[in-house]
Amino acid sequence: MKRYLWPLFLIVSLILTAVFGYGFASAYNDVVNPPKRAVLTPTKEELVKKGGTYVALGDSLTRGVGASNGNSYAAIVGRKLVKKDRVERFQNLAVSGARTEDLLKQLKQKEVRRTLSQAKVISVTIGGNDLFNRGEGVANFNAKKTAATIATAQTNLAKTFKILRKENPDAVIFYVGLYNPFRASENGQAFDAIVQEWNAKSRTLGLKYDIEIIDTFNLVRDVKRDLSSDQFHPNDSTYEDIANAAILAVEKRF
């Protein structure tokens, strides 16, 4: 019986040696030449979120002229959006007295375009200085001249909308329409129809470029009640009303 144990022991030893040798060789090969699947496995990283800024463009309405505390509708919207965690910060690039051609010049600046391309929310107020020309357009009303002014300014507004949407296809963009601050003046009533025509054309452009249009025409009915002491810019209450209308428009986009 013992003579059979020795050959069996020898065979088992050879098998174990072979298995051990194969395992050692495989382990050594994995160290020297690691498997491709281990090298190529990607790590999961959270993508950097685009935007986080509310950028306001335009004229004195965006700057907040007329407000007792300097808070424009844009400043109010900015605070509310930050509080709701919709954006991280607010940047006001508006220039008091700006007209549509001035805004177009501003939009040619590389830094401005870069800022807009990274924005999450963008707002615009423009056109009032074109149309009213500090009241001269109303005091010296000329239908033909006013029509030409509207045509030029609307062309500029269309270019503005196109640039904004091109620079940022994803941002929530809204435009604050015009109201008539000269309703109580001699030719003021005639401007009701002109302002409404402006807003109607702006809404058409808004549909084309996916831009929300905020209607302010009905927010200014009584110039003494709804406007500041200069009877041109909104007072605190009207700025708040414009901001609330804007927030409703923005919120439905999130």
**192-242 pLDDT per residue, tens:** 999 999 999 999 999 999 999 999 999 999 999 999 999 999 999 999 999
Helix (H) / strand (E) containing 117 = helix 110-117
3-state DSSP of 57-77: EECHHHHCCCCCCCCCHHHHH
Mean pLDDT for 49-69 is: 89
Phi, psi for 174 (deg, rounded to 5): -135, 145
Q: Which has the higher per-residue pLDDT, 83 or 4?
A: 83
Q: pLDDT of 104-160, one tens digit each? A: 999 999 999 999 999 999 999 999 999 998 777 777 888 889 899 999 999 999 999
The predicted structure's pLDDT at residue 141: 80
Q: Model pTM?
A: 0.79
Dihedral sign, CA of 106, 111, 117, 121?
Answer: negative
- The per-residue pLDDT for range 37-56, each reduced to its tens digit, is 333 333 333 333 444 999 99
Q: What is the mean pLDDT of residues 48-70?
A: 86
Taking the C-alpha atoms of residue 72 and residue 80, their distance in angstroms, rounded to an integer, is: 13
pLDDT category of residue 73 using cuts at 50, 70 and 90: very high
Whether CATH 3.40.50.1110 fits 53-251? yes
Q: State which H helix or E strand residue 56 sits in.
A: strand 53-58
